[in-house]
Chains A and B, each alone.
Chain A
Amino acid sequence: MQPFKTLTAKAAYLPISNIDTDMLVPKQYLKTVKRSGLGRVLFAEQRYDADGAPRPDFVLNKNPDVQILMAGENFGCGSSREHAPWALADFGIRVIIAPSFADIFYNNCFKNGILPLRLRAQEIEELRAKDMPITVDLENQRVTQGRLSFQFEIQPSCKEALLEGLDEIEKVLKLKGEIEAFERKHFEEQPWLGTFHA
């Protein structure tokens, strides 16, 4: 996974709350057995008209190089499908700034090198008001733009994973012995979990 440290880029703003996973990737594009290539269908129903031509006024069509996305609360609600962060990552989005995120989507972002970052709606408004690049500094948990500067909260383990671009499975498999010991005891206590009679 690509590590994330700092990023300075222009942000696109979608003033919509509850942006759901069906909006991020309409389901006709979910029938893939690969992770890559979904960037072109990100927000497809907003981005293209019925004939498949890009709508010039849609924010991502205006800024195809955007790496930071700002939006309203409860971003990523709906399904657990990772196609949504895959599409965002494939499009080139590295940071999403919103007042709140749906839980599963939030977790999925970290597995795909995307930083979901919570700022207050008021702070997002201030960032948006100036049409200037934004700097996101993960190490110091800070978002700056000119003289504006906001602190954000993030779980230490999530931060570390992004900073180092860690493979979580590799890390957890180092605890193999502990998992095995747990499993033995667990199945001793609840023997019906270890076997199926059918």
Chain B
Amino acid sequence: MPKTLYDKIWKQHVVHDFGDGSVLLYIDRHLVHEVTSPQAFEGLSVAGRKMWRHESVLATCDHDVPTTDRSAPISDPEAKLQIETLDENCRAYELRYYGMDDKRQGVVHVMGAEQGFTLPGITLVCGDSHTSTHGALGALAFGIGTSEIEHVFATQTLVARKSRNMRVMVDGALQLGVGAKDLVLALIAQIGIGGGTECVIEYQGEAVENLSMEGRMTLCNMTIEAGARAGLIAPDEKTFAWLKGLPLAPGHEHWEKAVAYWKTLRSDSDALFDNEVRIDASKIEPYVTWGTNPEMGAPISATVPDVAKEADPIKRQSRLKALEYIGLKPGTPLDGIPVDKIFIGSCTNGRLQDLREAAAIVKGRKIAPTVKLALVVPGSGVVKELAEREGLDKIFKEAGFEWREPGCSMCLAMNPDKLLPGERCASTSNRNFEGRQGYGGRTHLVSPMMAAAAAIKGCITDVRKML
């Protein structure tokens, strides 16, 4: 029977079939960070259990870490305790750990993929929903809760049920000034934040093949915002080129054999999917969210929709509430909405290519005087160093941006980088939920290019006019 990529990876990892629709699935690799792991380590030790395979774990701290000078002590005692707890657990269980003083530290998903920890065809989990990012390399990667983290620690497996398999076919080519972030925001606006529920989404088509690895990671990263379990893209030459020579990728002794296997990891041409969505990439404009979840987005040329006309009463109510929170009136053009702060970073858009694209817009320009703070937070220490080698830090700093140390930062505002009540932000992160970037803060999700353009103009604007 013809198989999809998802079918193939799944089958490779079934240890035991419970016969009731659930199986025991083997987990190859496990990323760990400070916020979701402490209770899992605690549970393991309280039950007196051993860790099954400590080599399968790679840990870092990212959510709570300050992005300012690393030599200063962490001022928040609770964040400090969480990070110290991870330090200790990693020592006790002999885990590979890139802590705050390690150059390789970074947002867990940026760091894992750039170290070659993520490989095609593997199962990879992390106590974090944006684990879907790693599907960009053809890994079956998904977020789990803390009980499941403990389960993987103790058994190297998870009890899992197979999801439905959806295909998103992206035909045509993206326009200049339009990137993976716009593509995925357009997709979510189309299918809704529940559109992928109980699905693993495989992306195919010309526009997906033409995306860089970074772009593919942005796409898979936000797949979770469509409610899907995971995103997948079949590995190809670009994937192999990305992996070759990375510290944790297969060495030369295994390389040929690994690539030969990875090449088998694509959906058979006649494989059946449970459902399919088609998108024409050439029609997509730069996208901006106007509300408080990622499906509330629209092309930059649009206006804030008249949500009172929404037919579904529950949807209408949540959209009315969203507009009230975000402080916008129906009919307001998106192009021209003034912003107070800019955030460029996160596991969605904190990789080298994202910073390059933003820097290309910023170069030789200054941020608008009305912008109170414009932050660039590289996704990892490696990204930061590579960017500095190219002089991107200077471009940003000369324009008036702050160039920070790596971490999640204002993506979720668990560290001191926050919006104040009522402040409006153009952000390259992935969630515009109420309070996500700080209590009362208002988030507009955009691409790195669009965030850069907003910083220069002081308002949300069409970056295509600035190319």
The interface of chain A, by Cβ under 8 A from chain B, is 15-18, 20, 22-23, 26-28, 30-35, 45, 72-74, 77-82, 85, 100, 102-104, 107-108, 111-112, 121, 155-157, 168-169, 172-173, 175, 178-179, 182-183, 186, 190-193, 196-198
In the complex, whether B81 has a CB less than 8 A from a CB of chain A is yes
Choose one: A72, A102, A179; the contact of B197 (CB below 8 Å).
A102
A residues less than 8 Å from B247 (CB atoms) = 198
A residues less than 8 Å from B131 (CB atoms) = 80
**Residues A82 and B439 in contact in the complex (CB < 8 Å), given A22-B433, A23-B433, A172-B151:** no
A179 touches B193 (CB 8 A): no
Choose one: A32, A74, A78; the contact of B433 (CB below 8 Å).
A78
**Residues A102 and B227 in contact in the complex (CB < 8 Å), given A22-B433, A155-B21, A172-B151:** yes
A79 touches B248 (CB 8 A): no
Interface size in chain B (residues, C-beta < 8 A): 81
Q: 8 Å CB contacts to A: which residues of B35-72?
A: 35-36, 38-39, 42, 47, 49, 52-53, 55, 64
A175 touches B39 (CB 8 A): no
B143 touches A30 (CB 8 A): no
B159 touches A157 (CB 8 A): yes
B residues less than 8 Å from A157 (CB atoms) = 18, 20-22, 159
B147 touches A31 (CB 8 A): no
In the complex, whether B198 has a CB less than 8 A from a CB of chain A is yes
A75 to chain B, nearest CB (A): 10
A79 touches B129 (CB 8 A): yes
Q: 8 Å CB contacts to A: which residues of B117-163?
A: 119, 121-122, 127-129, 131, 142-148, 150-151, 154-157, 159, 161, 163
A27 touches B145 (CB 8 A): no
**B22, closest chain A residue (CB):** A157
The interface of chain B, by Cβ under 8 A from chain A, is 12-13, 15-16, 18, 20-22, 24, 26, 28, 35-36, 38-39, 42, 47, 49, 52-53, 55, 64, 76, 78-79, 81-82, 85, 119, 121-122, 127-129, 131, 142-148, 150-151, 154-157, 159, 161, 163, 193-194, 197-198, 227, 229, 247-248, 250-251, 253-254, 257-258, 261, 293, 314-315, 317-318, 321, 412-414, 431, 433-436, 439
A139 to chain B, nearest CB (A): 16
B residues less than 8 Å from A182 (CB atoms) = 15, 26
A101 to chain B, nearest CB (A): 8
B24 touches A80 (CB 8 A): no
**Residues A100 and B143 in contact in the complex (CB < 8 Å), given A27-B412, A175-B24, A182-B15:** no
B residues less than 8 Å from A26 (CB atoms) = 435, 439
Choose one: A20, A112, A175; the contact of B147 (CB below 8 Å).
A112
Choose one: A15, A31, A82, A183; the contact of B146 (CB below 8 Å).
A82
A193 touches B28 (CB 8 A): yes
A18 touches B15 (CB 8 A): no
B residues less than 8 Å from A23 (CB atoms) = 433-434
Complex: A155 Cα to B16 Cα, angstroms: 17
**A193, closest chain B residue (CB):** B28
Complex: A148 Cα to B78 Cα, angstroms: 48
A residues less than 8 Å from B318 (CB atoms) = 16-18, 72
**Residues A80 and B36 in contact in the complex (CB < 8 Å), given A157-B20, A192-B258, A198-B247:** yes
9 A–B contacts, CB within 8 A, in A order: A27-B435, A31-B76, A31-B414, A77-B194, A78-B129, A79-B129, A80-B127, A179-B15, A190-B258
Known: A72-B314, A78-B129. 7 other contacts (CB 8 A): A18-B318, A30-B414, A45-B435, A80-B143, A156-B21, A190-B121, A192-B251
Complex: A88 Cα to B147 Cα, angstroms: 15
Closest 8 pairs (CB-CB, A-B): A192-B250, A111-B147, A31-B78, A80-B143, A197-B251, A33-B38, A108-B145, A192-B254
B residues less than 8 Å from A156 (CB atoms) = 20-21
**B153, closest chain A residue (CB):** A169
B39 touches A155 (CB 8 A): no
A residues less than 8 Å from B293 (CB atoms) = 18, 20, 77
Complex: A103 Cα to B257 Cα, angstroms: 35
Complex: A173 Cα to B15 Cα, angstroms: 12
A residues less than 8 Å from B144 (CB atoms) = 80, 104, 107
A residues less than 8 Å from B20 (CB atoms) = 155-157
B252 to chain A, nearest CB (A): 9
B198 touches A178 (CB 8 A): no
A15 touches B254 (CB 8 A): no
B124 to chain A, nearest CB (A): 11
**Residues A179 and B156 in contact in the complex (CB < 8 Å), given A74-B194, A104-B145, A190-B258:** yes
Complex: A34 Cα to B198 Cα, angstroms: 30
A residues less than 8 Å from B35 (CB atoms) = 30-31, 81
B residues less than 8 Å from A35 (CB atoms) = 39, 146
A residues less than 8 Å from B52 (CB atoms) = 179
B277 to chain A, nearest CB (A): 18
B15 touches A190 (CB 8 A): no
B248 touches A168 (CB 8 A): no
Most buried by A among B119, B147, B194: B147
A residues less than 8 Å from B64 (CB atoms) = 31
A residues less than 8 Å from B229 (CB atoms) = 103
A residues less than 8 Å from B26 (CB atoms) = 179, 182-183, 186
B25 to chain A, nearest CB (A): 10
Choose one: B157, B198, B258, B413; the contact of A172 (CB below 8 Å).
B157
B24 touches A179 (CB 8 A): yes
B435 touches A104 (CB 8 A): no
Complex: A22 Cα to B430 Cα, angstroms: 13
A34 touches B151 (CB 8 A): no
Complex: A111 Cα to B254 Cα, angstroms: 39
Complex: A142 Cα to B90 Cα, angstroms: 46
